[in-house]
Amino acid sequence: PIASINLCLDTLERIYKTQPEKVETYLKRARISSKRLISQVDRALAIAGADSIVSETSLVLLDELVAELTEEIRETYPKTSFSIIKSNISIQLPKNEVRSVLYSVIENAAKYSSHFCDEPSVVISISESNSGPLVKIKDNGPGLGEAGDYLFKAFSRGKWATENAVEGTGLGLHLAHKVAQKWGWTIAVSDNIDESGLSVSLRLVSV
Protein backbone atom coordinates (compact mmCIF):
# COMPACT_ATOMS: atom_id res chain seq x y z
CA PRO A 1 0.00 0.00 0.00
CA ILE A 2 2.82 2.47 0.73
CA ALA A 3 4.30 1.94 -2.73
CA SER A 4 0.85 2.44 -4.28
CA ILE A 5 0.32 5.69 -2.38
CA ASN A 6 3.73 7.01 -3.41
CA LEU A 7 3.06 6.10 -7.04
CA CYS A 8 -0.28 7.92 -6.98
CA LEU A 9 1.30 11.01 -5.42
CA ASP A 10 4.13 11.02 -7.98
CA THR A 11 1.59 10.78 -10.79
CA LEU A 12 -0.54 13.56 -9.33
CA GLU A 13 2.51 15.80 -9.14
CA ARG A 14 3.08 15.30 -12.86
CA ILE A 15 -0.49 15.61 -14.17
CA TYR A 16 -2.44 17.91 -11.86
CA LYS A 17 -2.01 20.91 -14.21
CA THR A 18 -1.98 19.21 -17.61
CA GLN A 19 -4.56 16.45 -17.02
CA PRO A 20 -6.89 17.66 -14.26
CA GLU A 21 -9.60 15.17 -15.30
CA LYS A 22 -7.40 12.31 -14.06
CA VAL A 23 -6.64 13.82 -10.66
CA GLU A 24 -9.76 12.41 -8.96
CA THR A 25 -8.92 8.90 -10.21
CA TYR A 26 -5.49 8.95 -8.61
CA LEU A 27 -6.79 10.58 -5.44
CA LYS A 28 -9.30 7.74 -5.11
CA ARG A 29 -6.56 5.15 -5.59
CA ALA A 30 -4.44 6.85 -2.93
CA ARG A 31 -7.38 6.90 -0.50
CA ILE A 32 -8.06 3.20 -1.06
CA SER A 33 -4.39 2.32 -0.56
CA SER A 34 -4.33 4.44 2.59
CA LYS A 35 -7.33 2.54 4.01
CA ARG A 36 -5.66 -0.77 3.22
CA LEU A 37 -2.49 0.36 4.97
CA ILE A 38 -4.42 1.44 8.07
CA SER A 39 -6.22 -1.90 8.12
CA GLN A 40 -2.94 -3.82 7.88
CA VAL A 41 -1.41 -1.77 10.70
CA ASP A 42 -4.49 -2.39 12.87
CA ARG A 43 -4.20 -6.13 12.28
CA ALA A 44 -0.48 -6.11 13.07
CA LEU A 45 -1.11 -4.18 16.29
CA ALA A 46 -3.80 -6.68 17.25
CA ILE A 47 -1.21 -9.44 17.02
CA ALA A 48 1.55 -7.46 18.73
CA GLY A 49 -0.63 -6.91 21.77
CA ALA A 50 -2.50 -10.17 21.65
CA ASP A 51 -0.99 -11.59 24.82
CA SER A 52 -0.69 -8.41 26.85
CA ILE A 53 -3.77 -6.30 26.12
CA VAL A 54 -7.18 -7.03 27.61
CA SER A 55 -9.62 -6.34 24.79
CA GLU A 56 -13.04 -4.85 25.42
CA THR A 57 -15.96 -6.99 24.37
CA SER A 58 -19.43 -5.98 23.23
CA LEU A 59 -22.57 -7.50 21.77
CA VAL A 60 -21.85 -7.77 18.04
CA LEU A 61 -24.61 -8.19 15.45
CA LEU A 62 -22.80 -10.26 12.83
CA ASP A 63 -25.12 -9.27 9.95
CA GLU A 64 -24.35 -5.58 10.48
CA LEU A 65 -20.62 -6.12 10.88
CA VAL A 66 -20.33 -8.18 7.69
CA ALA A 67 -22.43 -5.64 5.74
CA GLU A 68 -20.18 -2.83 6.96
CA LEU A 69 -17.03 -4.71 5.94
CA THR A 70 -18.30 -5.61 2.47
CA GLU A 71 -19.13 -1.97 1.74
CA GLU A 72 -15.64 -0.97 2.79
CA ILE A 73 -13.98 -3.69 0.69
CA ARG A 74 -16.23 -2.89 -2.29
CA GLU A 75 -14.40 0.43 -2.65
CA THR A 76 -11.24 -1.49 -3.54
CA TYR A 77 -12.95 -4.18 -5.63
CA PRO A 78 -15.99 -2.45 -7.22
CA LYS A 79 -16.57 -5.21 -9.79
CA THR A 80 -16.97 -7.89 -7.14
CA SER A 81 -20.50 -9.02 -6.29
CA PHE A 82 -21.07 -9.47 -2.55
CA SER A 83 -24.00 -11.51 -1.22
CA ILE A 84 -24.83 -11.91 2.46
CA ILE A 85 -27.04 -14.70 3.80
CA LYS A 86 -28.15 -13.21 7.11
CA SER A 87 -29.29 -14.81 10.35
CA ASN A 88 -29.78 -12.02 12.92
CA ILE A 89 -27.21 -13.55 15.30
CA SER A 90 -25.72 -11.44 18.11
CA ILE A 91 -22.73 -12.61 20.14
CA GLN A 92 -20.48 -11.16 22.85
CA LEU A 93 -17.08 -10.66 21.19
CA PRO A 94 -14.01 -8.41 21.09
CA LYS A 95 -15.33 -6.38 18.16
CA ASN A 96 -11.99 -5.04 16.91
CA GLU A 97 -10.51 -8.51 16.74
CA VAL A 98 -13.43 -10.21 15.01
CA ARG A 99 -13.60 -7.28 12.61
CA SER A 100 -9.90 -7.73 11.81
CA VAL A 101 -10.30 -11.45 11.14
CA LEU A 102 -13.39 -11.08 8.95
CA TYR A 103 -11.88 -8.18 7.02
CA SER A 104 -8.78 -10.23 6.20
CA VAL A 105 -10.75 -13.22 4.96
CA ILE A 106 -13.37 -11.28 2.97
CA GLU A 107 -10.80 -8.94 1.43
CA ASN A 108 -8.67 -11.92 0.46
CA ALA A 109 -11.67 -13.58 -1.21
CA ALA A 110 -12.52 -10.43 -3.17
CA LYS A 111 -8.92 -9.88 -4.22
CA TYR A 112 -8.32 -13.32 -5.66
CA SER A 113 -11.75 -13.57 -7.29
CA SER A 114 -11.27 -10.23 -9.04
CA HIS A 115 -7.93 -11.37 -10.46
CA PHE A 116 -9.20 -14.80 -11.50
CA CYS A 117 -12.51 -14.27 -13.30
CA ASP A 118 -14.59 -11.70 -15.19
CA GLU A 119 -17.52 -11.89 -12.77
CA PRO A 120 -15.96 -12.12 -9.30
CA SER A 121 -18.31 -12.96 -6.47
CA VAL A 122 -18.12 -13.48 -2.73
CA VAL A 123 -20.94 -15.09 -0.76
CA ILE A 124 -20.94 -14.71 3.03
CA SER A 125 -23.34 -16.85 5.04
CA ILE A 126 -23.95 -16.48 8.76
CA SER A 127 -25.56 -19.36 10.62
CA GLU A 128 -25.87 -20.92 14.06
CA SER A 129 -24.33 -24.28 14.91
CA ASN A 130 -24.15 -26.43 18.03
CA SER A 131 -20.70 -25.06 18.83
CA GLY A 132 -21.37 -21.39 18.06
CA PRO A 133 -21.98 -18.97 15.19
CA LEU A 134 -20.43 -19.94 11.85
CA VAL A 135 -19.42 -17.41 9.21
CA LYS A 136 -18.61 -18.94 5.82
CA ILE A 137 -16.94 -16.93 3.05
CA LYS A 138 -17.12 -18.50 -0.40
CA ASP A 139 -15.43 -17.03 -3.49
CA ASN A 140 -14.95 -18.01 -7.14
CA GLY A 141 -11.21 -17.41 -7.29
CA PRO A 142 -8.42 -19.87 -8.15
CA GLY A 143 -8.80 -21.99 -5.01
CA LEU A 144 -6.09 -23.35 -2.76
CA GLY A 145 -3.66 -25.03 -5.12
CA GLU A 146 -0.28 -25.63 -3.52
CA ALA A 147 -0.89 -22.71 -1.13
CA GLY A 148 -2.81 -25.03 1.20
CA ASP A 149 0.46 -26.28 2.66
CA TYR A 150 1.43 -22.87 4.05
CA LEU A 151 -1.71 -20.74 3.86
CA PHE A 152 -1.38 -19.30 7.38
CA LYS A 153 2.40 -18.94 7.39
CA ALA A 154 3.67 -15.35 7.59
CA PHE A 155 4.84 -13.77 4.31
CA SER A 156 3.98 -16.89 2.29
CA ARG A 157 2.30 -16.38 -1.07
CA GLY A 158 1.11 -18.99 -3.55
CA LYS A 159 2.62 -19.56 -6.97
CA TRP A 160 -0.56 -18.40 -8.70
CA ALA A 161 -0.49 -15.10 -6.79
CA THR A 162 3.12 -14.32 -7.66
CA GLU A 163 2.78 -15.38 -11.31
CA ASN A 164 -0.30 -13.19 -11.76
CA ALA A 165 1.11 -10.20 -9.86
CA VAL A 166 -1.61 -10.23 -7.20
CA GLU A 167 -0.84 -7.47 -4.72
CA GLY A 168 -0.35 -8.58 -1.14
CA THR A 169 1.99 -8.98 1.81
CA GLY A 170 1.38 -12.59 2.79
CA LEU A 171 0.30 -11.41 6.24
CA GLY A 172 -3.49 -11.07 6.08
CA LEU A 173 -4.52 -14.68 6.68
CA HIS A 174 -1.57 -15.26 9.00
CA LEU A 175 -2.71 -12.45 11.28
CA ALA A 176 -6.33 -13.58 11.06
CA HIS A 177 -5.32 -17.08 12.12
CA LYS A 178 -3.28 -15.80 15.07
CA VAL A 179 -6.15 -13.66 16.35
CA ALA A 180 -8.58 -16.56 15.96
CA GLN A 181 -6.28 -18.85 17.94
CA LYS A 182 -6.08 -16.35 20.78
CA TRP A 183 -9.87 -16.31 21.23
CA GLY A 184 -10.49 -20.00 20.65
CA TRP A 185 -12.08 -19.51 17.25
CA THR A 186 -11.39 -21.94 14.43
CA ILE A 187 -10.71 -21.27 10.75
CA ALA A 188 -11.21 -24.08 8.24
CA VAL A 189 -10.30 -23.75 4.55
CA SER A 190 -11.30 -25.94 1.61
CA ASP A 191 -11.66 -25.82 -2.17
CA ASN A 192 -15.23 -25.54 -3.44
CA ILE A 193 -16.76 -28.76 -4.73
CA ASP A 194 -17.48 -28.92 -8.49
CA GLU A 195 -16.55 -25.28 -9.06
CA SER A 196 -13.60 -22.94 -8.77
CA GLY A 197 -12.89 -21.01 -5.64
CA LEU A 198 -12.29 -21.29 -1.94
CA SER A 199 -14.48 -21.55 1.15
CA VAL A 200 -13.29 -20.26 4.51
CA SER A 201 -15.32 -21.11 7.61
CA LEU A 202 -14.86 -19.11 10.82
CA ARG A 203 -16.45 -20.62 13.92
CA LEU A 204 -16.84 -18.11 16.74
CA VAL A 205 -17.03 -18.60 20.50
CA SER A 206 -18.65 -16.07 22.81
CA VAL A 207 -16.50 -14.49 25.51
Q: What percent of the chain stands above pLDDT 90?
A: 46
Q: What is the mean pLDDT of the chain?
A: 82
> Tens of pLDDT along 62-92?
999 999 999 999 988 999 999 999 999 999 9
* Same domain? 159 vs 85: yes
Residues in the chain: 207
* Same domain? 178 vs 196: yes
The C-alpha angle with vertex 38 and arms to 36 and 41, in degrees rounded to 5, equals: 110
* Same domain? 158 vs 192: yes
* Same domain? 39 vs 80: no
pTM, entire model: 0.76
* Count of domains forming the chain: 2
* Same domain? 16 vs 102: no
The dihedrals phi and psi of 92, each to the nearest 5 degrees, come to -75, 115
* Same domain? 117 vs 189: yes
> Could you list the residue range(s) of the whole structural domain that residue 92 is in?
55-203
Tell me if 124 sits within 8 A of 137, measured CB to CB.
Answer: yes
